[in-house]
Amino acid sequence: KHFGQRSGLTDLIFGRDKEIVKAVDGVSFDLQEEDAVGVIGESGCGKSTLLHTLIGFHEPTKGEIYYEGEPISEFSKADWKEYRRNVQIIFQDPFNTLDPKLTVKETLKEPLIVHNMENKEERIHDVLERVELSPSEQYAEQFPDQLSGGEKQRVAIARALVLEPKVLLADEPVSMLDVSTQASILDLLSDLVDSLGVSLLYISHDLSTVSYVCDAVNVMYLGTNVETGPTTEIIEDPLHPYTQGLISAIPIPDPDYDRPRTEIQGSAQDPVDIGGGCRFADRCPEKMDICEKAPELVDAGSNRKVSCHLHYDHDEIDNNKDAHPT
């Protein structure tokens, strides 16, 4: 198990002017060995913040991130170096993450030098073949502007893999690529998870690309986790109105396929204005009075969890109402 959570992981609170923004609120998930887990949500939902927290760019204000059972806040310098080798990130934009003055070989050599790895030439050759940039001798000598967008993203993936990490964090890795290239990069990622046994945390606004690669997903809305579970079950039977909206937005060619037709109206509210209730309430077609209270993430059976009053035990809600009349 690579990442784990103990009580309220990553409650990140940032100051913006004088206001306080809770960017990620008690999001919790586990990433096991050889898992591919997706995190879905619109831009501004806190996905990138979550990822930056995992690589130590931000510190959580509450909670703790555990890597292989150890809290990362207590890492020594040597632990951090080891962690940075084992946990690699693939960024969204392959056009800006490669140094235009370095050949592919020089780009791949840098991390090997930093981490004192042996057999550099051999590793570079192997990893280029692994990401299907073949013949590797030829690609090794090229500069980024001699490569297509897809080839650049393969180099970025090779750079992440060259240190033989245990975990890959991918932040919208195909969103800047054209559709036909997206499929081949998704195939590659999926194949890497299977063949190398590397774990993948895949962050995206696009449920269809995530479903292609990930066995499980976490759906985020305005910094909270609204639904989690196995990908196929969430797609076939989304429980949260927000997830239902996301899924009805995915084009599915089969006209007989019966799916929920929730449309999401409007846009996400400013995190600063969030009151105490359900964060999705102002866009939710199913909103009820009880939604003024924030729903908790509760068990919904078969490894699923959802945070929505529609899925609470109603007797319990009635009891609560009696206990606290409004």
Locate all alpha helices (DSSP H) within the chain, ordered by sequence.
47-54, 77-86, 104-114, 120-130, 136-140, 149-161, 179-196, 207-213, 231-236, 241-248, 314-323
Asked if residues 158 and 179 have their Cβ atoms less than 8 Å apart, the reply is no
Closest to ligand SF4 by CB, 76 or 326: 326
Q: And the tokens for 69? A: 């059972």
Closest to ligand SF4 by CB, 171 or 227: 227
31 binds, among ligand SF4, Mg ion, none (CB under 5 to 8 A by kind): none
Binding-site size for Mg ion (CB under 5 A) equals: 1
The distance of closest approach from Cβ of residue 255 to Mg ion in the complex, given in angstroms and rounded to an integer, is 34
Residue 87, SS3 per DSSP: strand
Residue 177 class from Cβ within 10 Å (0-12 exposed, 13-18 middle, 19+ buried)? buried
Strand partners for 229: 217
Distance CA 49, CA 3 (A): 16
The distance of closest approach from Cβ of residue 275 to ligand SF4 in the complex, given in angstroms and rounded to an integer, is 12
Closest to ligand SF4 by CB, 25 or 35: 25
Max Cα distance, the chain (Å): 73
Residue 228 class from Cβ within 10 Å (0-12 exposed, 13-18 middle, 19+ buried)? buried
The distance of closest approach from Cβ of residue 310 to ligand SF4 in the complex, given in angstroms and rounded to an integer, is 5
- At 281, the amino acid letter reads A
Closest to Mg ion by CB, 75 or 91: 91
The distance of closest approach from Cβ of residue 294 to ligand SF4 in the complex, given in angstroms and rounded to an integer, is 8
Asked if residues 66 and 7 have their Cβ atoms less than 8 Å apart, the reply is no
Closest to ligand SF4 by CB, 117 or 317: 317
48 binds, among ligand SF4, Mg ion, none (CB under 5 to 8 A by kind): Mg ion
144 binds, among ligand SF4, Mg ion, none (CB under 5 to 8 A by kind): none
Closest to Mg ion by CB, 52 or 293: 52
241 binds, among Mg ion, ligand SF4, none (CB under 5 to 8 A by kind): ligand SF4
The distance of closest approach from Cβ of residue 52 to Mg ion in the complex, given in angstroms and rounded to an integer, is 9
Residue 101 class from Cβ within 10 Å (0-12 exposed, 13-18 middle, 19+ buried)? exposed
317 binds, among Mg ion, ligand SF4, none (CB under 5 to 8 A by kind): none
188 binds, among ligand SF4, Mg ion, none (CB under 5 to 8 A by kind): none
Closest to ligand SF4 by CB, 196 or 310: 310
Does the protein bind Mg ion through residue 181 (CB under 5 A)?
A: no
Closest to Mg ion by CB, 139 or 242: 242
- Contact positions vs ligand SF4 (CB under 6 A): 240-241, 278, 280-281, 284, 286-288, 291, 295, 308-310
Residue 298, SS3 per DSSP: strand
Distance CA 107, CA 128 (A): 12
Distance CA 81, CA 185 (A): 28
Asked if residues 226 and 307 have their Cβ atoms less than 8 Å apart, the reply is yes
Site track 17-56 with Mg ion (rule: CB under 5 A), x = hit: -------------------------------x--------
The distance of closest approach from Cβ of residue 243 to ligand SF4 in the complex, given in angstroms and rounded to an integer, is 10
Q: Which DSSP symbol is given to 46? A: S
Residues forming contacts to Mg ion in the complex (CB under 5 A) are 48
